[in-house]
């Protein structure tokens, strides 16, 4: 008996339907509206791809582990760079290790590590962000800190192997009113810098130019004037985004970054308590306005009756008779409502003879 054949289009449709539950469970990160313990944080100004470097010397080579982060959206692919030399689609935190051999002046990519991202369609793992207000952290060392910690997951290395090591990123945003959070940041070469195909080129040429910049940064010498960057040689204290560690913590390899910014301050104009902001809502103002209107009407009416008619006591109030009759009016309305619901037992007003 011949088995029915399923077209590729039908198979794709079935695959999409089966992936809907996974997509529903995937939790994304909205950097504009982060609420932790009733406190609002808006980190939109820190969006965009930013890089921090971990440089180690292993003579005759130099290792430059570049960690690229975008807290507001997925990192976009680099133009002119091979697909295998960059993190997969959906990545929020990517680590790329460049090895520069100072003897023959060559640079190669040693490893590309997807640390955190939404890989629901790739491996059923989402970003799964978790937020912690540092003041309410379980760690005693965080009690005096003002800010928040964001935990991002989803990554694995090697990414396409079943037994890859799970990855995790911990971004600690510390309040610093004097910093925007963009001081000393390195913006990687993303598609916005290479989409014209003129400055960086394409294919191997583009990749070589990108690695050349990182080689210069790693060596820190013999750099052409046009490629020198004062921020590269600046002390870590001048940088807002700082590398802390990247090491095994149990079965997971954890990247820890520290980010100093005024947008992590609870007193920031871009943040604030959600409970306080909702206090003066629409209905609160409506009640206040109605109360003021009634008070103004009574005061003005009383003043008018006093000056025009010389009224005293209850006669001062406008429509005083009606106000005094309110209890009787309410009682009469209540009696009518009760009689309406009990009307089924009435006999039309006639009594039995």
Q: What is the 3-state secondary structure (H, E, C) of 194-230?
A: HCCCCCCCCHHHHHHHHHHHHHHHHHCCCCCHHHCCH
* Size (the chain), residues: 353
146 vs 275: which has the higher pLDDT: 146
Cα separation, 178 vs 155, whole angstroms: 34
Percent of the chain scoring above 70 in pLDDT: 71
Long-range contacts of 15-22 (CB under 8 A, 24+ apart): 19/120, 19/121, 22/120, 22/121, 22/124, 22/126
Which pLDDT band, with edges at 50, 70 and 90, does 50 fall under? very high
Mean pLDDT of all residues in 256-284: 71
The answer on pLDDT for 184 being more than 70 is yes
27 and 127 in contact (C-beta within 8 Å)?
yes
Does residue 158 have a cis peptide bond before it, meaning omega lies within 30 degrees of 0? Answer: yes
158 vs 6: which has the higher pLDDT: 158
Which pLDDT band, with edges at 50, 70 and 90, does 270 fall under? low
Percent of the chain scoring above 90 in pLDDT: 33
107 and 79 in contact (C-beta within 8 Å)?
no
CB neighbours of residue 122 within 10 Å? 16
pTM: 0.60
Q: Residue with structure tokens 């991202």?
A: 117
The two beta strands, 130-133 and 91-101, are unpaired
Which of 91-95, 207-211, 295-299 bottoms out in mean pLDDT, i.e. has the lowest? 207-211
Q: What is the pLDDT of residues 27-43, one digit of tens each?
A: 578 898 899 888 889 99
Q: Whole-angstrom distance between the N-terminal and C-terminal Cα of the chain?
A: 92
The answer on pLDDT for 304 being more than 50 is yes
């Amino acid at each position: 008996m011949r088995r029915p054949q399923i077209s590729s289009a039908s198979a794709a449709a079935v695959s999409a339907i089966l992936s809907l539950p996974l997509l529903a469970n995937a939790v994304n990160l909205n950097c504009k509206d982060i609420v932790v313990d009733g406190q609002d944080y808006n980190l939109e100004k820190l969006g965009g791809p930013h890089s921090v470097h971990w440089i180690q010397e292993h003579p005759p080579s130099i290792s430059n582990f570049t960690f690229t982060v975008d807290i507001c959206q997925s990192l976009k692919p680099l133009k002119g760079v091979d697909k295998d030399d960059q993190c997969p689609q959906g990545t929020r935190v990517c680590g790329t290790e460049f090895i520069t051999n100072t003897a023959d002046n060559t640079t190669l990519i040693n490893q590309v590590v997807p640390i955190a991202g939404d890989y629901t369609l790739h491996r059923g793992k989402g970003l799964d962000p978790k937020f912690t207000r540092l003041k309410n952290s379980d760690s005693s060392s965080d009690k005096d800190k003002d800010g928040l910690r964001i935990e991002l997951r989803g990554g694995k290395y090697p990414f396409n192997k079943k037994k890859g090591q799970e990855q995790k990123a911990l971004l600690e945003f510390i309040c610093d009113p004097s910093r925007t959070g963009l001081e000393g940041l390195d913006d990687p070469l993303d598609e916005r810098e290479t989409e014209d195909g003129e400055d960086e080129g394409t294919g191997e040429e583009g990749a070589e130019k990108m690695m050349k910049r990182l080689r210069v940064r790693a060596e820190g010498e013999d750099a052409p004037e046009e490629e020198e960057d004062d921020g590269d040689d600046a002390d870590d204290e001048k940088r807002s985004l700082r590398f802390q560690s990247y090491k095994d913590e149990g079965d997971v390899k954890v990247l820890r970054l520290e980010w100093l910014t005024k947008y992590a301050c609870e007193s920031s104009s871009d943040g604030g308590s959600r409970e306080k902001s909702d206090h003066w809502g629409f209905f609160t103002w409506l009640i206040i306005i109605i109360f003021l209107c009634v008070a103004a009407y009574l005061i003005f009416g009383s003043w008018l009756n006093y000056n025009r008619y010389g009224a005293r006591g209850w006669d001062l109030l406008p429509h005083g008779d009606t106000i005094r009759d309110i209890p009787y009016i309410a009682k009469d309305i209540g009696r009518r409502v009760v009689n309406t619901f009990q009307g089924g037992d009435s006999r039309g007003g006639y009594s039995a003879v």
